[in-house]
A and B are shown apart, each in its own frame.
Chain A
Amino acid sequence: MENSRVKIIVSIAVILLMAKVSVGAETLKLRHFQSVYADDKEVGFNSPEGVGCDEKGHILVADSGNGRLVQFTLINGRAMPDKEIKAPELSFPIRVRTNSKGEIFALDGRQKRIVRFSPGGGFIGRVDTADSPLPATVIPRSFDIGKDDFLYLLDVFAGRVLILTPEGKFSKIIYFPKGYEVISDLAVDAKGNIFLLDSVTATVYVATKGSGQFSPLTESMKERMRFPATITTDAHGNIYLADKNRGNIYIIGQDGSFKGEQLTMGWKEGQLRYPCQLYANDKGEIFVADRDNNRIQVFSTGK
């Protein structure tokens, strides 16, 4: 009698555990919501490499091949073309982000400088790193802006992340981790944790807020990835990686666990070809600069 009771309790515990594991492993799914192809004058995007949003819901597109930024406003969830931002200081934008004031920051691929615009699109100036520690040469490959408006600049020349205050002054430096190969992108989550993506080894590194160094968040994921080159995080702490060569998106948990892969390479809406910058807003929407399909795609997330 005692034995059979124990067996029943153990069986129930195992079933409950399996159910929990199965729920935990449920994949976060990306559902295609809309694709944006052109501005209000029907000028089509040309190899757009960057995308970002501000807190008012404006979408900013780095329309790289056309040498401009294009701003859209979300009306009833639909992206309506708003305005074009062009400046001689920005001939080939490849990354775009905004701060809490709505100021726009864009990385110019040709000049390798970050350019700052007012919310209205007026040129303010270039991000200056002159007060940062040597070497004086800084080659930004990417950048991100934290919730506190600090700017995190990925300097691939010196293998470091330069952290600048909202006023643009040097604040802190964190060097790339030992043994890195090619760091392609960085992201800062809502808590202030900084993530680095090594494309060659398909490894994500993290420097938790306040930490002075990076450590591996994941092991090498090269077995399942080809060339992940872009990283972003959402409000729930999920990490998204876009695989340029495979045309899909991977989802990683805060603890580095692999939570699945979504989308495939292709031309149709909902498919990607050489995706570049990603952005995740607080509503759980993912924006993808779908470069070789000449469009921006928006996905909603859910289980």
Chain B
Amino acid sequence: MRYRVVFGTFLFLVLLFAVAAFPADMYRLKPGAKGKICANCHVDFQDKLKRSFLHTPVKQGDCSGCHNPHTSSHGKLLEADPSRICQRCHEEIAPKKAKSTHKVVVEGKCTSCHDPHSSDNKWNLVKAGNELCFGCHKDLGQAVTKAKFKHSPVEKGCLNCHDPHASENFSHLLKTEVPALCTNCHKTDKPAFIRQHGDYPVAKARCTSCHNPHGSEKAAIMYANVHRPVLSKMCNQCHESPSSPTPFKVKSPGYELCRGCHSKMINETFGKNQLHWALVGKNGCLACHTPHASSEAALLKGPMIKVCGACHSDTIMRQESSLVKHEPVTKGECTKCHSPHASDVSLLMKNPSVNDLCGSCHGWGKHTSHPIGEKIRDKRNRNLSTTCLSCHRSHGTPYKKMIPFATSTDLCVQCHKQ
């Protein structure tokens, strides 16, 4: 029995040693062949070796660190799936529970930014500096380039503020949170700074609620659209006095704060049958709008499709999975059909007549000879007249022409059984 245990342990250790030793000389190359044998055929690779920065396995001539010289289930004879192979050595590149992660990192598309062999840029980057980032973030790149008022850290490099892989504790891949990130450079205790901010202790506020960190057409890199009280530095129109123990506390809750100036809009809203309930909820108008400044019109918190999609994600997803795309939804122009505050019509539609609403873009009288209108009853339901929505769903379906059935026959037999 004892002999068996000793023998078993010995066998285990031998196997362990063999497994550990095997990768070091997995392919039993001839002496001196390592790092040279591949180059015999891949002669153009020599140019890559002349670049300033080489990937460590390349430098060591260890081509088989990533490639299998004989066979592989992956392209370029890679040893593993291209989206996973880098992680074998660079496992810790992104914290496992990061607050924000760069999409390409999650998708394992490391070669979008890095050359796996060599580069003339540090960290084997395929392009240098911001040019690399703006290759994907084109809109941002254009905005940064043409901004009249530039933010110097952006000019110097995106990596001044952002971590390219992931941020463990902060959103937007930020290296640290706002305002600490800003106060590294901007001294908030200077009298001029305090005066500029109306004596409010903004050192603890969120700078990016007014300032566009990527630069702007407006002085002080304010966002393109600024709320009038902010522009005129009348912060105390909404907030308590700067000397108050709670200077940032707003004077009234919810929509009531906005009613002071926007009474006409609020009164009109409350005069309608159907209210957008978000407007009277815990965040009031701020459910959709930002109170200080925004790059979006009407001080929206973001692009309309994102603002509306924050609550109505199912509607947005339905459009995304739809075979045919309804242009206003794709463009995020929800207010082409819906009144965002209130309406007398269900679903906050802008027009009580569905046919007239659709007809404002589609000219429905021309595209079909099917009888439609108030006087034509829906055969499925005597309380309904025929409208565009009798056959189509405006946010899309998985079927052609945004019809709610797989085939047009399935649709037509709903009413025309004979």
Contacts from A to B (Cβ < 8 Å): 37-38, 44-45, 47, 64, 91-92, 109-110, 112, 135, 137, 139, 141, 156-159, 176, 181-182, 184, 199-200, 226-227, 245-246, 265-268, 274, 291-295
Contacts and interface: CB of A to CB of B under 8 A. Distances in A.
Contact of B346 (A110, A181, A274): A274
A181 B277 CA distance: 12
Interface in B273-326: 273-275, 277-278, 280-282, 311-312, 314-315
Contacts of A268: 380-381, 414
Contacts of A45: 383
Given A156-B281, A293-B383, A109 B346 contact: no
B272 interface: yes
Interface string B221-262: 000000000000000000000000000000001101000000
Contacts of B277: 141, 156, 182, 184
A226 B281 contact: no
A294 B381 contact: yes
B382 to A, nearest CB: 6
A197 B278 CA distance: 15
B273 A110 contact: yes
A184 B271 CA distance: 21
23 contacts: A64-B273, A109-B275, A112-B275, A139-B280, A141-B277, A156-B281, A157-B281, A159-B281, A181-B311, A182-B278, A182-B281, A182-B311, A184-B277, A199-B311, A227-B315, A245-B315, A265-B404, A266-B380, A267-B390, A268-B414, A274-B347, A291-B346, A295-B383
Interface residues of B, number: 29
Interface string B171-196: 00000000000000000000000000
Interface string B126-158: 000000000000000000000000000000000
B12 interface: no
Going nearest first, the 10 A-B pairs with the smallest beta carbon separation are A294-B383, A226-B314, A267-B380, A92-B273, A44-B383, A139-B280, A37-B383, A200-B311, A159-B282, A267-B381
Interface SS, B side: mixed
Most A C-beta atoms less than 10 A away, residue of B273, B274, B277, B378: B273
Contacts of B404: 265-266
B273 A109 contact: yes
Interface of B: 253-254, 256, 270-275, 277-278, 280-282, 311-312, 314-315, 346-347, 378, 380-384, 390, 404, 414
Contacts of B253: 135, 137, 157-158
A135 B274 CA distance: 23
B383 A38 contact: yes
Contacts of A137: 253-254, 256
A293 B280 CA distance: 28
Contacts of A159: 281-282
Contact of B314 (A64, A182, A227, A265): A227
A239 to B, nearest CB: 21
B381 A295 contact: yes
A184 B312 CA distance: 13
Contacts of B282: 156, 159, 176
Nearest to A159: B282
Contacts of A91: 273
Nearest to B273: A92
Nearest to A108: B273
A285 to B, nearest CB: 21
A122 B160 CA distance: 71
Contacts of B275: 109, 112
B346 A267 contact: no
